[in-house]
């Protein structure tokens, strides 16, 4: 998501090469990227991934991308009225395939639900905000066409809630439609909302968690604790990442920093190792902006945390429960 905004094509390709060499084979992007969303950078990340992908053996890469939902003001996407109906899903995928320079994607995800629900830092459901939208059954029917055509292999969702997962699974079961295999949601030490309802429904429904924002937009590196004006996405793009600007975020980060220091490790490594070894996490979406950051993130895989440290992390969580929902 930083490729084409914070990272040049050359920098992006270097990161992708390193990741592949280190054993990473799952790469996730979206038609919306780079972020923050702008008309000038729409599709830029996919184009950069595409120029890299054409040099790879396609079967070595598990490629995922996403189609934008409705309800947000993106005037530059499909005449300013993107949604999750058949016309939009097909148009979005075909444009993504062209940018990615491939004839199929392994995982095609709905970036956010079309229906009314809290997301991107909102934390309460508002029943008065209901709006018309494409039924989930119709969304799956459009996706089934693309599966049958060989243009996508599997279907996933993102920024979903328990009701949505249950409805997707019900429609797939009752109408012989593609079953969602994954959910890509924010998940980190500051946001464990997944554990409170989604964990059970996903486990029983065999839907894998792809955890994004594992370092909470850089907060769990400790850099904003040391210097609130440190270089990074939050200072470069004021107003971005609203969920991480909530009142108790800084206190929670300080508590995790103290614990990491006591354990003799960097908070970055502690936060990533915690998430890498969660039973519910199938893969973690990293968003490094430099080779050094990516190397540190990958190295954290070799650091399983002790039972005592995991217990201490849970104790902090109970004191600062989901400060960034």
Tokens encoding 157: 């969702």
Is 33 in the active site?
A: yes
Q: How far apart are CA 30 and CA 24, in angstroms?
A: 18
Owner of token pair 């949604």:
83
The residues pairing with 182 across neighbouring beta strands, listed in sequence order, are 156, 208
Phi, psi (deg, nearest 5) at residue 161: -125, 170
Residue of 33, 187, 212, 256 with catalytic role? 33
Tokens encoding 26: 């799952």
Provide the sign of the torsion angle of the four alpha carbons 230, 232, 234, 237, taken in this order. Answer: positive
Specify whether the CB–CB gap between 29 and 1 falls below 8 A.
yes
DSSP string, 70-138: SSS--TTSGGG---SSHHHHHHHHHHHHHHHTSS-EEEEEESS-SSS---TT--S--GGG------HHH
**So which residues are the catalytic ones?**
33
């Amino acid at each position: 998501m930083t490729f084409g905004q914070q990272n040049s094509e050359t920098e992006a390709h270097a990161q992708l090469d390193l990741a592949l060499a280190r054993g990473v084979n799952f790469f996730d992007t979206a038609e919306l990227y780079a972020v923050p969303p702008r008309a000038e950078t729409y599709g830029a990340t996919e184009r950069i991934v595409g120029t890299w992908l054409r040099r790879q053996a396609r079967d070595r890469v598990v490629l995922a991308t996403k189609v934008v939902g409705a309800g947000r003001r993106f005037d530059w996407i499909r005449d300013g009225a993107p949604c999750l109906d058949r016309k939009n899903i097909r148009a979005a995928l075909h444009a993504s395939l062209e940018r990615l320079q491939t004839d199929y994607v392994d995982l095609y995800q709905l970036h956010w639900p079309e229906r009314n629900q809290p997301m991107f830092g909102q934390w309460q459901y508002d029943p008065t905000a209901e709006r018309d939208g494409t039924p989930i059954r119709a969304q799956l029917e459009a996706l089934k066409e693309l599966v049958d055509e060989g243009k996508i292999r599997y279907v996933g969702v993102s920024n979903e809630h328990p009701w949505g997962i249950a409805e997707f699974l019900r429609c797939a079961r009752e109408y012989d439609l593609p079953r969602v295999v994954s959910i890509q949601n924010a998940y980190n030490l500051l946001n464990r909302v997944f554990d409170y309802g989604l964990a059970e429904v996903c486990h029983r429904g065999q839907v894998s968690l792809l955890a994004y924002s594992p370092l909470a937009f850089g907060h769990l590196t400790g850099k904003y604790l040391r210097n609130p004006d440190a270089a990074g996405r939050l200072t470069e793009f004021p107003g971005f990442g609203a969920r991480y600007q909530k009142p108790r975020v800084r206190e929670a980060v300080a508590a995790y920093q103290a614990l990491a220091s006591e354990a003799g490790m960097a908070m970055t490594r502690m936060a990533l190792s915690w998430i890498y070894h969660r039973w519910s996490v199938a893969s973690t979406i990293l968003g490094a902006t430099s080779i050094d950051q990516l190397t540190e993130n990958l190295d954290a895989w070799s650091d399983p945390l002790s039972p005592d440290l995991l217990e201490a992390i849970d104790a902090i969580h109970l004191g600062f429960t989901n400060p960034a929902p």
